[in-house]
Structure 1
Amino acid sequence: MTASTVLPDTMRAAVYHGQHDIRFEELPVPHPAAGELLLAVGTAGVCGSDVAEWAYGPHQHAFDAPHPATGWIGPITPGHEFSGTVVAVGEGVDAETWLGTTVASCGSVACGACDPCLRGQSNQCAHYNGVGLHRPGALAEFVTTPIENCLRVNELGLSLDEAALCQPMSIAVHTTSRAGGVDGQTVVVQGVGGIGAFLVYALVESGADVVATDRDAERLQIARELGARATVHVSGSADDLVMIREAVGENELRVIFEVSGSRPGIESALALAPRGCRIVLVGIQKAPVSIDLASITLEERQLIGTNALVREIDFPRAVELIARRRGRWAVLAPRVLPLDQVVEGALRPMSEGRAPAIKTLIDPRGTDVRPIASLA
């Protein structure tokens, strides 16, 4: 290991021990393996999957048996959306190139050698795993991560807070790509939350004409700021479909992105979709939903699943998109919380449907709540 500074022996971390059980512990500072970086964590984002693990898990965190790709089992530090400064490198990494640089990380780990990886679908890797999901993550002062899931952001004018938004943006970029070409097409985004808001921006930047729907008027205002042409405040009534069709207008509706993950959401998408429409299923349904497959076949509509990101393609595009709007991301992530507020300031309110913002960020070294930082 090559380090740029003298590193401490221990670090503070938020450690997941099971449902509703996060403990703040002193852990050894990890050492980067071959091909890895050690980051002094700048900022970490709290994701819906983190919330699901805390509220209902463990599901993705391995507690019953070692994870097949990483071998990790038991208590784990979450955090897969993060940025940091490179303070040490493992064997085979060019120290001169990396030490001292600031990076964004997508947290995705793939082998690079299996058939899905070789055909450019690393999100379907036979050995896929995630930093903060299947090996220790970034809700800590330090984290190790493979060099392949990091991109330097020094010259892009991004703060560490903004760089932590690149991972969720990469999910939106991948979702956009799953729909095929959207340039010049009218699309509907159902649900403007932690992924939907990033998706609105990614679609607009890809040339789509976006109509966004949500039950929260404040989130719809954010969607308009991010470029949506029209928004619809839905309530679950029969009038919702009428209002969405009016917002679409005379344009041909080509794609519906169902981000809410709710039964009414999928029912609305199926009812709205005209012949030949693509329905991209982004939100994960909590229970099986009956679908009239005959109508899908006869009208040549498409149901498209999407999951995670292709780090080699989607992540660089995401970094580019975050950089385009640098200095203006407070609309999604206005505040950064210290580590000791991750439960009461993020996980609990998010699990109860009262998220304080579309994206909640954590500063593992912070002592007080502060505004999101910008270099712009």
Structure 2
Amino acid sequence: MTMTTIPGSTRAAVLHGPEDLRIERVPVPPPGPGEVLVAVDAVGVCGSDMHYFADGRNGGNVLRQPTVLGHEASGVITAAGEEVRLPIGARVAIEPAIGCGDCPTCRSGRYNLCPAGTCFGSPPTDGTIAEHVVAPARAVHRLPEEIDTELGALIEPLAVAVWAARRAGIRFGHRVLVTGAGPIGILVAQVARAAGAAEVVVTDVNDDRLGKAAELGATATVNTATHTLGLTAMDRLVECSGHPGALWQGIQALGPGARATVVGQAPPAVDGLPLAYLQRWEIDLSTAFRYANAFPAAIALASSGRVDLAGLVTGRFPLDQTAVALRAPGRDPRHLKVVIRPAA
């Protein structure tokens, strides 16, 4: 084992129930073969973290035991187990969703769909809002000099956007509609432009977020609460809001042979799917779940400057104020990406 000092425990944000988050010391196991110990520099707050904190659940997954939250993380390797080639001191982004690596799904490359897969911060798997985290070496990615360690925490949501663009099949010259100007929607818009889209229109009901989308690369924005969408013959729809109404409205803006891709967390069942309309115009309906093999592309996009991560960060909080950080986006809709700094 290669190491510096390995702490026996670490401070972490542990969720015990809705609105019951406690900063506690939790054990830190020494990294085993193929594992690394990461001193966490930054953790981005995701909508799933906010749902667990507010309701004790996210979609169908329910909090049943105290669990450390967080999955968008970056930091520095401080110890490594056997069979690890990464050096001590390497700055890394952590890929939180881990497949078993052995099942047919993982072997096919679709490890994001692994039936036995786990994800940091998805109960009961402890997450990354902690001073130290042990992670598989295969799940950490070195950050180049061009990416600040704090911004490395945003590689995870950028990987979501990269995977969404791949699933949508966005190509050079496409006209792309992105519904939802949250962090994922704005990142999808940037990735679409980087992929060669000729036009990227972003919709939302929040003018502040639409202004940020325009600042970061959208060719046009529409506030659908105050304006008619008024689009036709779009090639691709990437739905990032999680609202069925936005999906239906977006589908109506697509042209023949187009594709709609659902990225925002969908409800368990949705009535009113315009199946006859999709069939008449051969519009493909696809979905995207997390990502597979998308971190390298996300890092390349960020390091080249083709995607702006710094423009998304709207708040920073120390570990002791994790609960405040989790409430912040709901209390101030101008927030985009709030970052927790465990070492601060």
Q: Which of the five TM-score ranges fits, normalised by the shorter chain?
A: over 0.9
Which residues in structure 2 correspond to 1:20-31 (within 5 Å)?
20-31=19-30
Q: How far, CA to CA, are the matches of 2:32 and 2:119 in structure 1?
A: 16
Determine helix, strand or coil for the equivalent of 1:184: coil
When residues 157 and 326 of structure 1 are mapped into structure 2, their CA distance, relative to the original with a 3 A threshold, is farther
Contact 2:35 2:134 in 1 (8 A): yes
Q: How far, CA to CA, are the matches of 1:140 and 1:51 in structure 2?
A: 17
TM norm structure 1 = 0.85
Q: How far, CA to CA, are the matches of 2:206 and 2:130 in structure 1?
A: 33
Measured on the aligned residues, the alpha-carbon RMSD in Å equals 2.1
Contact 2:179 2:202 in 1 (8 A): yes
**Residue range with higher mean Cα deviation, 283-292 or 110-119:** 283-292
Look up the match of 2:74.
Answer: 83
Give the partner amino acid of 1:329.
Answer: L
Q: How far, CA to CA, are the matches of 1:56 and 1:8 in structure 2?
A: 32
Which residues in structure 2 correspond to 1:110-125 (within 5 Å)?
110-125=99-114
Look up the match of 1:335.
Answer: 315
Contact 1:2 1:89 in 2 (8 A): yes
1:212 aligns with 2:202: yes
State the Cα deviation string for residues 313-355 of structure 1 (Å, max 9, x = none). 21100111121239953321043211122212x22233x3634
State the Cα deviation string for residues 205-258 of structure 1 (Å, max 9, x = none). 1111211111122212221222111111221x6x4232xx2xx7xxx4110111
Determine helix, strand or coil for the equivalent of 1:187: strand
Deviation above 4 Å: which 4+ runs of structure 1?
Answer: 59-64
Q: How far, CA to CA, are the matches of 1:14 and 1:233 in structure 2?
A: 36
**Residue segments in structure 2 that go unaligned for 5+ positions in a row:** none
Q: How far, CA to CA, are the matches of 1:360 and 1:140 in structure 2?
A: 16
Look up the match of 1:226.
Answer: 216
Which residues in structure 2 correspond to 1:334-373 (within 5 Å)?
334-344=314-324, 346-350=325-329, 352=330, 354-355=332-333, 357-366=335-344
Look up the match of 1:68.
Answer: none
Contact 2:209 2:334 in 1 (8 A): no
Determine helix, strand or coil for the equivalent of 1:178: helix
Q: How far, CA to CA, are the matches of 1:191 and 1:327 in structure 2?
A: 18
When residues 62 and 292 of structure 1 are mapped into structure 2, their CA distance, relative to the original with a 3 A threshold, is closer
Look up the match of 1:188.
Answer: 177
Determine helix, strand or coil for the equivalent of 1:112: coil
* Among 171, 175, 179, the residue aligned to 2:164: 175
Determine helix, strand or coil for the equivalent of 1:268: helix
Q: 1:194 Cα shift? A: 2.2
Determine helix, strand or coil for the equivalent of 1:275: strand
Q: How far, CA to CA, are the matches of 1:356 and 1:341 in structure 2?
A: 19
Determine helix, strand or coil for the equivalent of 2:313: coil
**Residue segments in structure 1 that go unaligned for 5+ positions in a row:** 65-73, 367-376
Contact 1:256 1:279 in 2 (8 A): yes
1:145 aligns with 2:119: no
Give the partner amino acid of 1:360.
Answer: V
Q: How far, CA to CA, are the matches of 1:296 and 1:281 in structure 2?
A: 14
TM norm structure 2 = 0.92
Look up the match of 1:104.
Answer: 93
Q: 1:110 Cα shift? A: 1.2
Contact 1:48 1:194 in 2 (8 A): no
Determine helix, strand or coil for the equivalent of 2:29: coil
- Identity between Structure 1 and Structure 2 (%): 35
**Residue range with higher mean Cα deviation, 137-146 or 276-285:** 276-285
**Residue range with higher mean Cα deviation, 156-165 or 136-145:** 156-165
Look up the match of 2:229.
Answer: 241
When residues 333 and 227 of structure 1 are mapped into structure 2, their CA distance, relative to the original with a 3 A threshold, is same
Look up the match of 1:316.
Answer: 296
Determine helix, strand or coil for the equivalent of 1:195: helix
Q: How far, CA to CA, are the matches of 2:194 and 2:146 in structure 1?
A: 19
State the Cα deviation string for residues 174-212 of structure 1 (Å, max 9, x = none). 000001142210010111102111111111111112111
* Among 274, 279, 284, the residue aligned to 2:255: 274
Give the partner amino acid of 2:78.
Answer: V
Determine helix, strand or coil for the equivalent of 1:241: coil
Contact 1:18 1:58 in 2 (8 A): no
